Amino acid sequence: MQSPKTEPNKTVPPPIRRPAIEGVAPEIDAGEFPIKRTVGENVVVQADIFADGHDVVNAALLYRAESEGKWREAPMRFVDNDRWQGQFRIAAQETHLYSIEAWVDPFQTWIRGLIKKYDAGQDVASDLLVGADLAWTASKRATGADARSLTNFAAQLTTKSKTDLAAGVATARKDELAAVILRYPDRSESTVYEKQLVVSVDRQKARFSAWYEMFPRSCTGDPQKSGTFRDCLARLDLIAQMGFDVLYLPPIHPIGITERKGRNNSTNPAPDDKGSPWAIGAAEGGHKAIHPELGTLEDFRVLLSKASEKGIEIALDIAYQCSPDHPYVKEHPEWFLHRPDGSVQYAENPPKKYQDIYPFHFEGKAAAALCEELQSVVLYWAKQGVRIFRVDNPHTKPLPFWQWLIAEVRREYPDAIFLAEAFTRPKLMYRLAKLGFAQSYTYFAWRNSKAELTAYLTELTTPPVSEFFGMNLWPNTPDILTAAFQTGGRPVFISRLVLAATLSASYGIYSPAYELCENRAVATGSEEYLDSEKYQIRIWDIDRADSLRGLITDVNRIRRENPALQRNERLRFQRLDNDQMIAYSKVTEHPPNRILVVVNLDPRNIQSGFVEVPMQEFGLAPDAEFEVEDLLTGASYRWRGSRNYVELNPEKLPAHILRVRP
């Protein structure tokens, strides 16, 4: 017998899953990378959800911690134009997953059609029987009192379909029926979104923190004698009183002698020059060693402990590079790139040359061993108690390396936080954030005008960027003394402090240079400090009468007391009819907190204008009278309506931080 002919390309009809789910947000790069949250934050999810025809659809947001076996659910609500939204809260510091399930809802389709028919005067007897069947079927999925309630509803609808249609419709419209039956939908033919999306969860300090960068060797009164970790102990009270909760230390390791840089980056160092802490490695050891002049490992552990007692965490610098004297150079020459003459290729960023630094070479057969060793550096310091790492120039190392390293470190230390010091192209900065860096430096230092600040901060605080990029705003660093500071003086130091601390929930300053308004550049047109601490010990008169310490203390206190300043997602720029002034607001609902910040961007002249208050966002009637309190000065003002006058004198105080009280 001849076999029947088959069509080789014929396919089997697919299962009928009527709802479609698309346009899910947040979803980073088609789900390749996680979004980021901290413990206590919400994840708000939206999606386009629809089906063929006119049947009503329903949907649930599925979510769970990675360690949980079963999905939790949160209802999704219709927003507009087939757009739905739901949310869930991150309750634990571990990776979370989320997805969406949608189904056609026969009950809501039925009740909508029943009411339309009845209101149009049509016979709905058979429709009541359809409802009875839906209630009866749902009772089989329910248990206990709910099952009995649904059985009772089915009986009532059946009886009244024959005796009293009006009463039957009234029964069908009872909220009690809808509440019970909607708890037991038939989801056997539902659509589940094809992806399980990921939430990377950090502790709260990844979202809200104030960083203070300090060179331990400058905690001394003798320019020829290095400060020590024990000397740093004396500064902890001052740093804590100013309100900083992260103390960031540049590299604490032995510094190489070969090609050591002298003062002001000189290539002809004097015998007593200390060199750059970023030229890591000497006879005393490398990345797992401590410079003998700073103290011992036990001294460092004491510093960690005493800082913790005062609410301060120590952040360490991870700089994957070596001085020519680093033990790695002799022990593992395969980890470095050699030039044709056999010498090791030092770091360059033409025309700049860094003869005192050898970069690692991540290509070739030795790459795996190199990566393992570099990971062990972070794990070593994590074992000592460090949980925050500021990573130097991560954009000059392979991207897959960071994704692997951060994931492996956080597997053992889930509370580890990594800050990327990557002043590079935007897409590269964003990619590093996607790969695991919880925070990142930004271009804030070079954004000065109202238009620049508005455009840039709007980009950073708006999805999709805000879903994965954690900004940490630094007005200055040991490498960055912008022209604005050099020419604008004290008013610029104040205005940039207020901007950094209120635009972002996380910010930092390099100090005591900042509080003492250090603004001397090594040369005109340079952003390098004169007598930079990178190359020498600096003696700072931290008790100088003109120090900004008091103002910095006030700003950090204001941040701690106002929840709106501890988040970024509600940052909104407000209209102000003077381009030399900028205004923006932040709001939280629970607890209610409404902050309006106004800054004079002109360091030399009094500027004034009318600011538009976001009345609706602040919960105020359009013509309401309300009070604003300047949290920097304690002064209060009575305002009315949305348009109000502001004036700021940079010689007195170039900023308002206003708390709005209805």
Mean pLDDT score across all residues of the chain: 96
In a domain, 506, yes or no: no
Q: What is the pLDDT of residue 2?
A: 55
Whether 73 and 196 share a structural domain: yes
Q: How many domains does one find in the chain?
A: 4
Confidence of residue 6 (pLDDT cuts 50, 70, 90): low
| Domain ranges, residue 633 | 572-661
How far CA 604 is from CA of 390, 513, 525, 646, 655, in Å, comes to 35, 22, 21, 17, 14
pLDDT single digits (tens) 300-357: 999 999 999 999 999 999 999 999 999 999 999 999 999 999 999 999 888 888 899 9
How far CA 567 is from CA of 205, 248, 577, in Å, comes to 11, 22, 27
Domain C-terminal end among 298, 331, 359: 359
CB atoms < 10 A from the CB of 74, how many?
A: 16
Whether 34 and 121 share a structural domain: no
Pick the closest to residue 413 from 372, 371, 385 (CA basis): 385
Q: What is the pLDDT of residue 5?
A: 59
Domain C-terminal end among 312, 331, 359: 359
Q: Which helix (H) or strand (E) holds 152?
A: helix 144-163
Q: Which helix (H) or strand (E) holds 77?
A: strand 77-80
Examine the residue annotation and report whether 202 is marked as an active-site residue of this protein: no
In a domain, 275, yes or no: yes
365 DSSP 8-state letter: T
Rounded-to-integer distance, Cα 401 and Cα 363, Å: 11
Q: What is the pLDDT of residue 15?
A: 85
b/e 596-635 (16+ beta carbons within 10 angstroms → b)? bbbbbbbbeeebebebebbbeebebeeeeebebbbbbeee
In a domain, 477, yes or no: no
Indicate the pTM of the whole model. 0.94
**Token code pair at residue 86:** 């739901």
Confidence of residue 4 (pLDDT cuts 50, 70, 90): low
% the chain with pLDDT above 70: 99
Q: What is the pLDDT of residue 349?
A: 84
In a domain, 160, yes or no: yes
81 DSSP 8-state letter: T
**SS (HEC) of 573-621:** EECECCCCEEEEEEEECCCCEEEEEEEECCCCCCEEEEEECCCCCCCCC
The catalytic position among 245, 421, 467, 518 is 421
Q: What is the pLDDT of residue 3?
A: 56
Rounded-to-integer distance, Cα 581 and Cα 454, Å: 11
Rounded-to-integer distance, Cα 208 and Cα 317, Å: 20
In a domain, 587, yes or no: yes
Residues paired with 636 in a beta bridge: 629
The burial of 107, by beta-carbon neighbours within 10 Å (0-12 exposed, 13-18 middle, 19 or more buried), is given as buried
pLDDT single digits (tens) 176-206: 999 999 999 999 999 999 999 999 999 999 9
Whether 257 and 347 share a structural domain: yes
Whether 88 and 119 share a structural domain: no
Q: Contact, 287 vs 515, CB < 8 A?
A: no
Q: Contact, 244 vs 553, CB < 8 A?
A: no
Pick the closest to residue 208 from 498, 604, 505 (CA basis): 505
Residue written as tokens 């025809």? 53
Peptide bond into 591 cis (omega under 30): yes
Whether 92 and 111 share a structural domain: no
Whether 142 and 177 share a structural domain: yes
Q: What is the pLDDT of residue 9?
A: 82
pLDDT single digits (tens) 569-611: 999 999 999 999 999 999 999 899 999 999 999 999 999 999 9
Q: Contact, 329 vs 344, CB < 8 A?
A: yes
pLDDT at 471 over 80: yes
Whether 32 and 164 share a structural domain: no
In a domain, 208, yes or no: no
The catalytic position among 392, 515, 518, 527 is 392
Which residues contact residue 517 at a Cβ distance below 8 angstroms, ignoring those fewer than 6 apart? 489, 490, 493, 546, 548
Residue written as tokens 């390749």? 32
Q: Could you tell me the CATH number of the domain that includes residue 38? A: 2.60.40.10
Examine the residue annotation and report whether 527 is marked as an active-site residue of this protein: no
Q: What is the pLDDT of residue 224?
A: 87
Whether 85 and 197 share a structural domain: yes
Domain C-terminal end among 306, 330, 359: 359
Whether 36 and 117 share a structural domain: no
Q: Could you tell me the CATH number of the domain that includes residue 591? A: 2.60.40.1180
Whether 325 and 339 share a structural domain: yes
Whether 114 and 38 share a structural domain: no
pLDDT single digits (tens) 379-438: 999 999 999 999 999 999 999 999 999 999 999 999 999 999 999 999 999 999 999 999
In a domain, 67, yes or no: yes
In a domain, 227, yes or no: no
Q: Contact, 284 vs 292, CB < 8 A?
A: yes
Q: Contact, 610 vs 645, CB < 8 A?
A: yes
Confidence of residue 14 (pLDDT cuts 50, 70, 90): confident
pLDDT at 441 over 80: yes
Q: Contact, 507 vs 473, CB < 8 A?
A: yes
Whether 651 and 577 share a structural domain: yes
CB atoms < 10 A from the CB of 339, how many?
A: 9
The identity of residue 624, as a single letter, is A
